[in-house]
């Protein structure tokens, strides 16, 4: 089995989504802790500029965005499945809601002044200021809800999860866990980091019982690795073969940039070497990490040609 490296930091919700999936699958993995704010020179050496957390590495393959990472993890470790046949499609649609709408209700609610000190527990006032400036630059168009709006939004979303669980099912879409459970659990996990506001969860008893079942999966078997070791693993590693389905205006070998469409609009430049419904892959070279394939989901990312092949 290839050595799977997760680049993450402890209080990152999307990282928790992936850590819990490692737990559900009982996997061994390498754990590299990355900075929560820019600058991130060792991250950029591997991703080419993508700064969001987490990302995953297998040798000289780098996978950005948990939507893609989870598909790759499931292909490598199919049991138990993240996309069970009975709920495929629906599971991904609910996961996408949880990764966007639910996440953007839970995060500003939990980062409100009364709670942020619990999430960034060891942070000095200077660190809190730097964190705020970093996130404002990453997502300049975000309209921050007031604590009152935030509480209302979170409760409406939690009521939807409670309704899904109303018939007594153990997991959001039925008898077995799927990607939707992990995407939703990361937001509940984040709210629970701040006890003064985590009381919002208490009336949703089925959500609390469901979350306890997800939490019980744990995080699998992490082993510590440094970012320097990860870069060395990339330099000494190889990339998996890619497939290519041309799209109008996009051909194998085109010089392109790939940029998230939603926030953190940092383009990654390289040569397009893989393309399909779920994935776009570019090849790029870093002076420390060597030649890499950087993989992105096709959805919610913009591919822009910089020069014809």
Ligand X SMILES: N[C@@H](CCC(=O)N[C@@H](CS)C(=O)NCC(=O)O)C(=O)O
- What is the nearest approach in angstroms of ligand X to the Cβ of residue 308? 30
Backbone conformation region of residue 50, classed left if phi is above 0, alpha if psi is from -120 to 50, else beta: beta
57 interacts with ligand X by CB under 6 A? no
Answer for which of 42, 61, 92, 99 binds ligand X (CB under 6 A) is 99
The H or E element that residue 268 is part of is: strand 268-275
Distance CA 87, CA 74 (A): 15
Residues in the interface with ligand X (CB under 6 A) total 12
- Find the part of the chain contacting ligand X (CB under 6 A) among 8-16, 74-82, 165-173, 201-209: 8-16
Nearer to ligand X, 12 or 110 (CB): 12
Q: Residue 250: beta bridge partners?
A: 247
Nearer to ligand X, 99 or 254 (CB): 99
Nearer to ligand X, 254 or 296 (CB): 296
- Find the part of the chain contacting ligand X (CB under 6 A) among 63-71, 116-124, 213-221, 288-296: 63-71
65 interacts with ligand X by CB under 6 A? yes
Nearer to ligand X, 66 or 271 (CB): 66
Distance CA 65, CA 212 (A): 25
112 interacts with ligand X by CB under 6 A? no
Answer for which of 5, 13, 23, 106 binds ligand X (CB under 6 A) is 13
Nearer to ligand X, 67 or 271 (CB): 67
Answer for which of 31, 47, 53, 110 binds ligand X (CB under 6 A) is 53
Considering only residues 22 through 41, tell me which ones interact with ligand X, judged by CB under 6 A: 36
Q: What is the DSSP string of 142-155?
A: --PPPHHHHHHHHH
- Find the part of the chain contacting ligand X (CB under 6 A) among 22-30, 64-72, 89-97, 287-295: 64-72
For the beta carbon of residue 68, count every other beta carbon within 10 angstroms.
21
Distance CA 236, CA 266 (A): 27
Non-local (6+) Cβ contacts of 151 within 8 A are 109, 197, 200
- Find the part of the chain contacting ligand X (CB under 6 A) among 61-69, 140-148, 152-160, 281-289: 61-69
52 interacts with ligand X by CB under 6 A? yes
CA 104 to chain centre: 13
Non-local (6+) Cβ contacts of 56 within 8 A are 4, 5, 6, 7, 18, 62, 63, 69, 72, 73
Answer for which of 30, 66, 87, 187 binds ligand X (CB under 6 A) is 66
Cis before 54? omega within 30: yes
Cis before 80? omega within 30: yes
Contact set with ligand X (CB under 6 A): 12-14, 36, 51-53, 65-67, 99, 138
């Amino acid at each position: 089995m290839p050595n799977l490296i997760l680049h993450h930091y402890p209080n990152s919700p999307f990282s928790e989504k992936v850590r819990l999936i490692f737990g559900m699958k009982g996997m061994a993995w390498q754990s590299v802790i990355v900075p929560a704010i820019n600058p991130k020179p060792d991250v950029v050496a591997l991703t080419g500029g993508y700064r969001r957390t987490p990302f995953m590495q297998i040798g000289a393959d780098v996978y950005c965005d948990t939507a893609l990472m989870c598909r790759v993890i499931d292909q490598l470790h199919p049991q138990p499945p993240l996309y069970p046949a009975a709920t495929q499609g629906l599971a991904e649609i609910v996961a996408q809601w949880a990764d966007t709408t639910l996440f953007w209700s839970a995060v500003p609610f939990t980062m409100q002044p009364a709670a942020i000190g619990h999430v960034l527990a060891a942070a000095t006032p200077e660190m809190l200021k730097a964190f705020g400036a970093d996130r404002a630059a990453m997502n300049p168009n975000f309209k921050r809800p007031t604590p009152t709006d935030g509480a209302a939004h979170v409760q409406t979303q939690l009521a939807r999860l409670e309704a899904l669980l109303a018939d007594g099912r153990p997991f959001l879409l039925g008898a077995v866990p799927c990607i939707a459970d992990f995407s939703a659990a990361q937001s509940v996990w984040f709210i629970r980091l701040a006890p003064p506001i985590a009381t919002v969860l208490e009336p949703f008893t089925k959500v609390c019982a469901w979350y306890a079942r997800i939490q019980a999966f744990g995080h699998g078997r992490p082993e510590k690795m440094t970012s320097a070791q990860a870069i060395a693993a990339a330099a000494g590693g190889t990339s998996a073969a890619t497939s290519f389905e041309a799209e109008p205006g996009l051909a194998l070998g085109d010089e392109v940039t790939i940029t998230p469409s939603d926030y953190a609009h940092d383009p990654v430049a390289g040569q397009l070497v893989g393309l399909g419904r779920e994935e776009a892959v570019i090849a790029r070279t870093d002076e420390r990490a060597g030649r890499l394939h950087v993989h992105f989901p096709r959805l919610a990312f913009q591919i822009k040609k910089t020069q014809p092949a």
